[in-house]
Amino acid sequence: MKQRILGLFLPIVATAVLTACSSSESSIEYDIVKVDRHVAITKAQDAPCCDVHLELACAKKTEGERAKAINDAVTRWLFDMEGISMQQAADSFANKYTRDYQKNFAPLYREDAGDPEKRAWYEYHYNINGEMASGRDGITVYTASIDYYEGGAHGINQRLTMNFDNKDGKALTLNDVFSTGFEYSLNELLLEKLIEKAGAKDVDELRQMGYLYAMDIFAPENFILGQDNVTFVYNPYEIASYEKGLIELTIDNDELKDLWKK
């Protein structure tokens, strides 16, 4: 069956500048890459469709090696692809996603087409909005907000974050930021913040409320190095039931003063 693609790869449409501090070394110039696809599952009139919308910040080539480091890391992170530009990766992802949608689900839809209640099961979408913003001095934060629906009872919403050193574009991990042995103290702080956020009296009540079921608190690599604090982002199911949604726990820099890497 010939693939029907109504959307086209859109050109870069915007340019902006990030400034984390006054030095030119800490300014990251970036473009916005957009990809849109709208593909019907079959050629039947009013057939369900799959929509893919990707809008991603991409460091400009004029930023040199640090831009390449950032863009390569984001491309691996979001699309598990290497050796190609973010534009090419995004376009390739959208094409494969819509092809697989038609190939894998068109036969199932033909069987269910007579049941109007099942139509919604086949209305797929996959959206990513990737943004770059200034974090603490000398740091650029990349945040990808992902929203997709692939049948079932509900869609999935996620937020993924990365922190980059503006000097060389290196992606920073918790081990790059905090001193050796930080885990225990950081987990204690995170547990305090979660108890406070949930309005619980203690960890036992927290578990009764649907948090930390059969698990302990942990510090995720999904974090944001802000000017005055660090925010840890937990996606649905990571430390709580789906109904709790995305959970963010923010710790002020002063509370972390004994944990910073010297």
Can you give the pLDDT of all 262 residues of the chain as single tens digits? Answer: 333 333 333 333 333 444 333 333 556 899 999 999 999 999 999 999 999 999 999 999 888 899 999 999 999 999 999 999 999 999 999 999 999 999 999 999 999 999 999 999 999 999 999 999 999 999 999 999 999 999 988 999 999 999 999 999 999 999 999 999 999 999 999 999 999 999 999 999 999 999 998 899 999 999 999 999 999 999 999 999 999 999 999 999 999 999 999 7
CATH of domain 9-171: 3.30.565.40
Cα angle value 219/194/154 (rounded, 5°): 85
Q: Which residues, 6+ apart, have CB-to-CB distance to 231 below 8 Å?
A: 223, 224, 248, 249, 250, 251
- State which fold the 175-256 domain adopts: Actin; Chain A, domain 4 (3.90.640)
Q: What is the pLDDT of residue 62?
A: 85
d(Cα 68, Cα 170) in Å, to the nearest integer? 10
Burial class (CB in 10 A: 0-12, 13-18, 19+), 215: exposed
Residues of the chain with CATH 3.90.640.20: 175-256
d(Cα 121, Cα 132) in Å, to the nearest integer? 34
Q: What is the pLDDT of residue 3?
A: 33
**pTM of this prediction?**
0.87
d(Cα 104, Cα 99) in Å, to the nearest integer? 9
Residues of the chain with CATH 3.30.565.40: 9-171
Q: What is the pLDDT of residue 213?
A: 87
Q: What is the pLDDT of residue 89?
A: 98
d(Cα 125, Cα 212) in Å, to the nearest integer? 30
On the CB side of 86, how many CA atoms lie within 13 Å of its CA?
Answer: 28
